Chain A
């Protein structure tokens, strides 16, 4: 009798592990009927905490309060998960240059600006949003909390019993139990991520967007990590290994099963790249600026090259110039000057590009050329915060 739950658990584990190998994405849960209310003390408590965090979030200086952007992201989520489901979610765009999005039990979805910079079309964005929505729909945070409580309860009792037994063996058994429980909790978390991935791709398969994009997201994540490591002189990251405390399945595994689960019939569908590009355009300079200042040359260069797939534009070239000037090796400065020059050739009114060009030329010893670029910068942006400092770099006679 005692073993029955164990068999059930093994059965569930086998079911989830084989799910990855089948080519069918799982069926979707039934849509919501009316407004969902939390049930039971755990869920009510969880929602209450999340409500409080959401209140804090709404006042956060990191929040991007732009209705058009938020509505657009919401529409992408709705296009993926369906209108009946998406109304239970509130989207918040958080200014943080990392590849991430998160979802809480009460329906708060945080979308980080680093994610917006890295995905290149609506299909890729909705793959991530759908994954987060999957967590929400399956009540993952609540279940994880319960699982964690059971595990830590077990350990608490185990430690009491081990202390009572007062033998080395009891102590060792307790340590083994600790490893087993924590290992199980981490694995549980990873399985939840897999389940959310499967649901995410299931939504995408049923939408009008191209489901093959989901796998592409993870391929890009791996390529970026590799580019970053290469420039920093680090070992190539291992994308298949699962660390003991890993919160997510490895990227290679995710890319593989998402590619396998994507509906081949959806290959020809639109991925919404043009619409996405148009939405991102006004935000691009800020997002790029935040990324470049992270001092991760390899990753920033990878992102820029990716964005410039259809050709370099003035904002992209300017950002690339900034990236190279900030690293500042003599060879970088030569390239930086080239990128800034191309940027001002495309957009002569790009004041910041004139500034970058001026400073770079100055540093390269081309003082006169540098000064003329800085002069142009001041003409275009006479009220710039550093205008008085720049004026000092100009020849004296021009000042008088």
Chain B
């Protein structure tokens, strides 16, 4: 019995250590002034202030950066989503499929694609696309749009995103933050980061 107890304790301790270790390396600093590749892709950004790269990816070719934690400001890079893939990894391909980026997807349908992904993925009840405009993104014709939604905690968030379809792949950078205080506060930081993005 004692042996069993010791083994139990050892296993628990090992799990605890691995959790602590994972916590310690959870985020990586992205320092101001250094150009970095995002999401193992050919997208390069040069931050003008320090950002945190969140470890753990929500999808292939997707990377998330934050200043104060993803609940308060979340910049997500979708760097080259290939045809036939969803924006983020599906929790269950069979039971909770997400809409896919297809070869027929038009630039103007990208806000709908993001909405169709956010609603089931973040289990949102409301999502409103507010403003859609043409823009230049990564040196190509792109789309700039703003949106607003209420998340599961009843917190209203605002978002802004720029996207483009380049070489049959979808490139997009989104910024989500709570409507109260945080969105405005870091909007310029996001826009500066966005303007620094280029293809290598």
Contact = CB atoms under 8 A, between A and B. Distances in A.
Interface of A: 56, 59-62, 94-97, 113, 166-168, 232-234, 290, 293-295, 326-328, 330, 333, 359, 362-363, 385-386, 388-390, 392-393
A95 B125 contact: yes
26 contacts: A60-B154, A61-B126, A61-B150, A94-B125, A113-B125, A167-B1, A168-B1, A232-B97, A234-B94, A234-B95, A290-B119, A290-B125, A293-B116, A293-B120, A294-B120, A295-B98, A295-B99, A295-B116, A327-B99, A328-B104, A330-B104, A359-B108, A363-B104, A386-B108, A386-B132, A389-B107
Nearest to B144: A389
Given A293-B115, A294-B120, A56 B154 contact: yes
Nearest to A390: B108
> Could you tell me the dominant secondary structure of chain B's interface residues?
mixed
B125 to A, nearest CB: 5
Interface centre among A59, A232, A330, A390 (most CB of B within 10 A): A232
Interface in B5-49: none
Interface string B143-172: 100000010001010000000000000000
Nearest to A60: B154
A386 B99 CA distance: 21
A385 B130 contact: yes
B50 interface: no
B7 to A, nearest CB: 14
Contact of B125 (A59, A96, A233, A326): A96
A120 to B, nearest CB: 22
A95 B150 CA distance: 11
Kindly name the residue among A61, A233, A327 whose own CB sees the greatest number of chain B CB atoms within 10 A.
Answer: A61
Nearest to B155: A61
B72 interface: no
Contacts, number: 77
Nearest to B148: A61
B97 A295 contact: yes
B133 A62 contact: no
Contact of A62 (B106, B126, B132): B126
B127 A293 contact: yes
A293 B133 contact: no
Contacts of B200: none
B112 interface: yes
Nearest to B126: A95
Nearest to A96: B125
Contacts of B108: 359, 386, 389-390, 393
A232 B95 CA distance: 7
B129 interface: yes
A116 to B, nearest CB: 13
A337 B30 CA distance: 47
A232 B131 CA distance: 33
Contacts of A166: 1
A327 B129 CA distance: 19
Given A95-B126, A233-B94, A389-B132, A359 B106 contact: yes
Contact of A388 (B1, B111, B130, B132): B132
Nearest to A114: B125
A56 B153 CA distance: 11
B105 interface: yes
